[in-house]
């Protein structure tokens, strides 16, 4: 095994992944929000919320890992929103291919891609929880932007209320 080649490949992978810090969450760009959060900031917010709210019966490490990788493909495909006219199936295919490309031959590639599928399909308790965290984070971020920029972002907060199924997480959203 060529250690230097492996190091270079991993460095390139990390460079690609860390570019997620520059991918802006597209949904916020439709509003007069100064410096909207990046996809990486969103993922970090989810990971922190996971750390603080993960129920003891769930695998906390898996939940945090899912939170960190759930949007990793967006470093290649961008943050595709319903306003982009891309079907859910096309979005999923693009993201699957992008994630496979990013992870490449990393030793945990298969494991992480399988975990991503759990998140997408909500097939495990951890996948369901992280899917709810995703929508919770959107709602909480909308509340912050409403306060900071005097905006009405009810479309996001109402959507969060509708989509967050976990009652403990749903209770963290503002009430109407």
Q: What is the pTM of this model?
A: 0.92
Residue bearing the bigger pLDDT, 40 or 176: 40
pLDDT band at 175 (very low <50, low <70, confident <90, very high): confident
In angstroms, the CA 26 to CA 100 distance is 23
Average pLDDT over residues 137-157: 97
The per-residue b/e assignment along 30-62, b for 16 or more CB within 10 angstroms, e otherwise, is ebebeebbbbbbbbbbbbebbeebbeeebeeeb
**Which pLDDT does position 174 carry in this prediction?**
82
What would the pLDDT profile of 107-141 be if each residue is shown by its tens digit? 999 999 999 999 999 999 999 999 999 999 999 99
Across all residues in the chain, what is the average pLDDT?
Answer: 95
Query: How would DSSP label each residue in 79-130?
Result: ---GGG---HHHHHHHHHHHHHHHHTT-TTHHHHHHHHHHHHHT-SHHHHHH
pLDDT band at 2 (very low <50, low <70, confident <90, very high): low
What would the pLDDT profile of 89-115 be if each residue is shown by its tens digit? 999 999 999 999 999 999 999 999 999
Average pLDDT over residues 136-161: 97
Say if domain 3-170 classifies as CATH 1.10.3210.10. Answer: yes
**Which pLDDT does position 1 carry in this prediction?**
47
């Amino acid at each position: 095994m060529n250690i230097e080649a492996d190091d270079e490949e991993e460095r390139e992978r990390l460079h690609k992944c860390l570019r997620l810090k520059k991918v802006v969450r597209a949904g916020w760009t439709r509003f007069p929000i100064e410096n909207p959060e990046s996809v990486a900031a969103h993922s970090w917010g989810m990971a922190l919320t996971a750390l603080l709210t993960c129920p003891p019966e769930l695998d906390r490490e898996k939940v945090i890992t899912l939170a960190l990788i759930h949007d990793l493909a967006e470093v290649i495909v961008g943050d595709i929103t319903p306003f982009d006219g891309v079907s859910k199936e096309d979005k999923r295919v693009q993201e699957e291919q992008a994630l496979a490309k990013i992870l490449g031959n990393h030793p945990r590639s298969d494991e992480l891609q399988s975990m991503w599928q759990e998140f997408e399909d909500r097939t495990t308790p951890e996948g369901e929880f992280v899917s709810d965290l995703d929508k919770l984070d959107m709602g909480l971020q909308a509340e912050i932007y409403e306060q900071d920029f005097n905006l009405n972002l009810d479309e996001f907060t109402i959507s969060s209320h509708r989509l967050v199924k976990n009652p403990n997480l749903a209770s963290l959203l503002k009430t109407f």
